[in-house]
């Protein structure tokens, strides 16, 4: 069994010629063409080819960082709000001692 990796343009826009899998001197189990549109290689998993450019993974990472940053800001705002409310609750309590009631004579 073998697979053909077609030619492609890499990230530097240089044409890489097509090749057959497994490659000479490579792993004999790597009979599938894997990778992305701009990076291809031989591997042993038939489901490891993604018809996207390799750079899309960078955008997934940026999206995750943005989402985590927003979650951190919301959590920080919540903690600050709770602290302010606790301070206001404590500071507005009456400071006088307990009322002893009527004095006994």
The residue extents of the domains of the chain are 4-43, 53-92
Q: Where would I find the H helices in the chain? A: 56-91
| pLDDT recorded at residue 23 | 85
For residue 69, what pLDDT band results from cuts at 50, 70 and 90?
Answer: very high
Query: Cα–Cα distance between 16 and 40 in angstroms, integer?
Result: 9
| pLDDT recorded at residue 15 | 93
| pLDDT recorded at residue 101 | 67
| pLDDT recorded at residue 13 | 87
22 preceded by a cis bond (ω within 30 of 0): yes
Question: How far is the CA of 22 from the CAs of 7, 34, 59, 95, in angstroms?
Answer: 16, 11, 31, 82
Taking 90 as the threshold, does the pLDDT of residue 71 lie above it? yes
| pLDDT recorded at residue 29 | 86
Q: Please identify which residue in the block is written with the tokens 């500071």.
A: 91
Query: DSSP secondary-structure letter at 64?
Result: H
Query: Cα–Cα distance between 86 and 79 in angstroms, integer?
Result: 11
User: What integer best gives the mean pLDDT of the chain?
Assistant: 82
Query: Cα–Cα distance between 44 and 17 in angstroms, integer?
Result: 21
Specify the pTM: 0.45
């Amino acid at each position: 069994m073998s697979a053909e990796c077609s030619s492609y343009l890499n990230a530097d826009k240089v044409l890489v010629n097509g090749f057959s899998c497994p490659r000479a001197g490579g792993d004999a189990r790597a009979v599938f063409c894997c990778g992305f549109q701009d990076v291809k290689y031989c591997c042993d998993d038939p489901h490891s080819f993604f018809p996207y450019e390799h750079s899309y993974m960078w955008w997934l990472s940026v999206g995750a960082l943005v989402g985590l940053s927003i979650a951190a800001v919301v959590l920080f705002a919540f903690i600050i709000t709770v602290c302010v409310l606790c301070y206001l609750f404590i500071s507005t309590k009456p400071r006088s001692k307990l009322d002893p009631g009527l004095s006994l004579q």
